Amino acid sequence: MSAPTPRLPSAAAATAHQRQWFADLHRDHTPGDPLALVNADAPQEVFRAMGIPYVVNQWWASIVAAKRRTQDHLARLRERGYPDYTEQYSSTALGSAFDTDPDSAPWGGLPTPSLVLAETTGDASRKIFDVWGAQPGVTFYPLESAAADTVPERWWELMPHRWEEAVGTDRLDLMVGELEGLIRFLEATTGRRFSEQRFTEVMALVNEQEEWNRRTRDLIAAARPCPIAVTDSIPAVMIPQWHRGTVWARDAARRLHDEVADRVRAGAAVCPDERVRLMWVGRGLWFDLDFYRRFQDRYGAVFVWSMYLAIAADGYIRHVDPDSGDPLRALAARFAAFSDQLYTPPWSAEWYVKEARTHGVHGVVHLVSDDARGSWATTRALRAAGVPVLELHADNVDARRSDPEHLDGTVGRWLEAEVLPRTDG
């Protein structure tokens, strides 16, 4: 038995930074000052450029879940007549708005935002934000979310430069119009200025950050054994992602890259007896992060992949032609089809297959929650490519339905029956 690899310093640093940032936000925020609550896939770069602080809705849900407070947050919705059974990942933060005891809340509680921003996806998600918008002092700014009749399959090759072709002109025209409206609205209601120069810097920093993530992803794909745990790569990627457009975030992505490169050079391993390389498809299991380690001792099975690093590598980079390009259109291209990359076939399905191949995985554990999108196509495409897939039916924040013993038993039986026979000998 070898000792497990120590926590990755950049993961620890990112977590510490997030704590400090949130404490500073609490200290500096005066109720009524501009503060946004935004969805993870919203165009945060506009707020960054204008100096308007924002909290990411799904990040907050993950904090609440990690503190095992999701249930009492959902109960507050129920008490007000709202459902506690739809899109819990998006509605958890709304439970914080109805907190009657903020002192006991995780991390000192969520300060009340002045603005909530979300795309009108799904049937319930815009309603969750309607309820936010009905709270005193809160404005809801909805953004359209458009869908394409046809899309090119290998989007990840087009996105960095040929995003117009990948996303489509109609969708981009719409999203640029939406962003111009948002900027004018923010200028008028916050008194902050939108500087095109500052915005160009922000967009350049984001591209640099995601380019570092891309190199990191490529290193991990090629490395045998796997040099870092997904539970380290998730915070080391995602926390900088929420701070994207800052020098700190760009440098954090570079630091992660350098640490991974060092580990690869040193032959460091999450599990030196690595026998099975696994891919985790779906959102993180926030209530049970230990899950990802539990198959190492018994099976030498390591989760080498989660979408968080991979989508940073492939899903964000949007270069702007320095002579003719419009950085606002590039930002529109970043988020107009963001969730399609992960959830809409053929984009999602073909991408997971590509990632499974480049990472040399032996199997995929696919988290299928009630609101999962495109899961049939993802599982089908992976299986058609010869990769065993276990569909795990659970909810990533609602632990009521995700008992660890059940999860472990299911994964263990699948490893023994389908994956190990293909790797031994």
Partner 1 sequence: MSAALAALLDPARTTADGPVAGYVGADVPVELLTAAGYHPVRLSGSPHEDASDGIGYLGGGLDPAACSVLTRLLHGGYGPLDVLVVSRDCEASLRLFYVLRELARVEPAVALPPLHLIDVLHLPHRTTTRYVRAKVRGLRGWLQQRCGHTVSGDELAAAVAAHDRVRGLLRAVGELRGQRRLTGTEALGVVAATTRLPVHRAEELLTALVAELPGRDPRPGHPVYLTGSSHDCPDVYTALEDAGLLIVGEDHDRGDLLSTMDVGVPAGAADVDALDLAVAERYQHNGPSAPRAAIAERAAHTAAALRGRGAAGLLSYVREHDDGPPWDFPAQRDAAGVPAAIVERQAYGLIDPSELDRALSALGVPAVVA
The footprint of ligand SF4 (CB under 6 A) covers 1-2, 4, 271-273, 296-297, 300
Decide whether 238 or 270 has the Cβ nearer to ligand SF4.
Answer: 270
Contact status, residue 14 vs residue 20, Cβ threshold 8 Å: no
Positions in 374-393 near partner 1 (CB under 8 A): 374-377, 380-381, 384, 393
Q: Which of 373, 390, 396, 407 binds partner 1 (CB under 8 A)?
A: 373
Q: Nearest-CA neighbor of 237 among 53, 59, 43? A: 59
Decide whether 42 or 302 has the Cβ nearer to ligand SF4.
Answer: 302
Name the minimum Å distance from CB 296 to ligand SF4. 4
208 vs 204: CA distance, rounded Å: 6
Decide whether 25 or 151 has the Cβ nearer to partner 1.
Answer: 151
Decide whether 18 or 58 has the Cβ nearer to partner 1.
Answer: 58
45 vs 52: CA distance, rounded Å: 10
Which helix (H) or strand (E) is 400 found in, with range?
none
Name the minimum Å distance from CB 45 to partner 1. 19
Name the minimum Å distance from CB 180 to partner 1. 8
Decide whether 102 or 272 has the Cβ nearer to ligand SF4.
Answer: 272
Name the minimum Å distance from CB 256 to ligand SF4. 22
Letters for 55-94 (x = contact with partner 1 by CB under 8 A, - = none) are -------------------------xxxx-xxx-------
Only segment of 58-66, 128-136, 155-163, 218-226 that touches partner 1 (CB under 8 A)? 128-136
Partnered with residue 390 across adjacent β-strands are: 365
Q: Which two tokens stand for residue 345?
A: 């076939």
Contact status, residue 117 vs residue 36, Cβ threshold 8 Å: yes
275 vs 290: CA distance, rounded Å: 19
Residue found under tokens 């430069």 = 161
Name the minimum Å distance from CB 356 to partner 1. 16
Decide whether 239 or 390 has the Cβ nearer to partner 1.
Answer: 390
370 vs 291: CA distance, rounded Å: 20
Whether the bond between 346 and the residue before it is cis, its omega within 30 degrees of 0, is yes
Rounded to the nearest 10 degrees, what angle do helices 327-335 and 169-190 cross at? Answer: 110
Rg of the chain over all Cα atoms, to the nearest angstrom: 21
Q: Which two tokens stand for residue 350?
A: 């073909």
Letters for 327-366 (x = contact with partner 1 by CB under 8 A, - = none) are -----------------xxx--x-----------------
Name residues whose C-beta falls within 8 Å of residue 80's C-beta, 6 or more positions apart in sequence.
98
Task: List interacting residues with partner 1 (CB under 8 A).
Answer: 80-83, 85-87, 120-124, 126-128, 130-131, 134, 142, 144, 146-149, 170-171, 173-174, 177-178, 181, 344-346, 349, 368-377, 380-381, 384, 393
